[in-house]
Amino acid sequence: MTGIIGFYPKEFALVALCVLLSNASTSAAQPSSSGAEVAEDRGGHEGGKDINEEEQPLLNGFSFGAAYTFHVLRDRDSAETTGEPLRTLEHLGGFILSYERELIPEHLALAIAKPFYFSRERFDTPFDVILRGIFRKGAWKGFIGAVVTWNIRVFEEERAEQEGEKNLMSFGIGAVIGGAYYFTERWSLDLEIGYAYIPTDDIVTHEISAALGPLFHF
């Protein structure tokens, strides 16, 4: 071995230098690889954290808005001694409070609404339960559904004498259709139009209503 080194001194020195450089580069690469693994693990951990902290869907909503209703009244005569025919059409305006809960996100929702309608001669306080089928595309949402409504009608003194009753309670069934535009994920503007048929013994036979107002999602 010593003879070989003595015979090829330059070649041996070159080989030894290559070996040393190779070992040095391998040692330098190992911390870099470990650092890459740590960075990868950290990135994966942070990614998992982001997934876990993903926002939950906003399934609840509360709304306060303006409301209007148009009523078709049955034919009837005044309860007073004159017995004159009474009006068969009536308009009322007011406001509405409502709460909704999405049972199946972006597909099915249950809503409870409490409108307050006023006129110079009447005050109506319905209570509506609405089951809506909903669909959404971008910032727009549409819905169609069925409604069950209960109502207490309160008449002012002169109107009560004509109707022969101070208060009337009614029950009805119907349908609603409407849509909403989302300004943000928490705020939208909702429009709803509904129809209800009143089969009970009441002055009203048909009700057509509309409501417009902002809805807060939470």
Supply the pLDDT for residue 5: 45
Supply the pLDDT for residue 56: 85
Task: Enumerate the domain spans of the chain.
Answer: 2-52, 60-217
The span from the CA of 169 to the CA of 150, in Å, is 7
pLDDT < 70 positions in the chain: 1-54
Supply the pLDDT for residue 13: 52
**Under 8 Å between Cβ of 79 and 58:** no
Structure tokens at 97: 């409070």
Supply the pLDDT for residue 60: 97
**Under 8 Å between Cβ of 144 and 175:** yes
- Listed in sequence order, the residues at least 6 apart from 89 whose beta carbon sits closer than 8 Å to its beta carbon are 70, 71, 72, 73
Supply the pLDDT for residue 39: 43
Supply the pLDDT for residue 16: 53
pLDDT tens for each residue of 145-177: 999 999 999 999 999 999 999 999 999 999 999
Alpha-carbon separation of residue 197 from 15, 176, 201 (angstroms): 100, 12, 12
Architecture of the domain spanning 60-217: Beta Barrel (2.40)
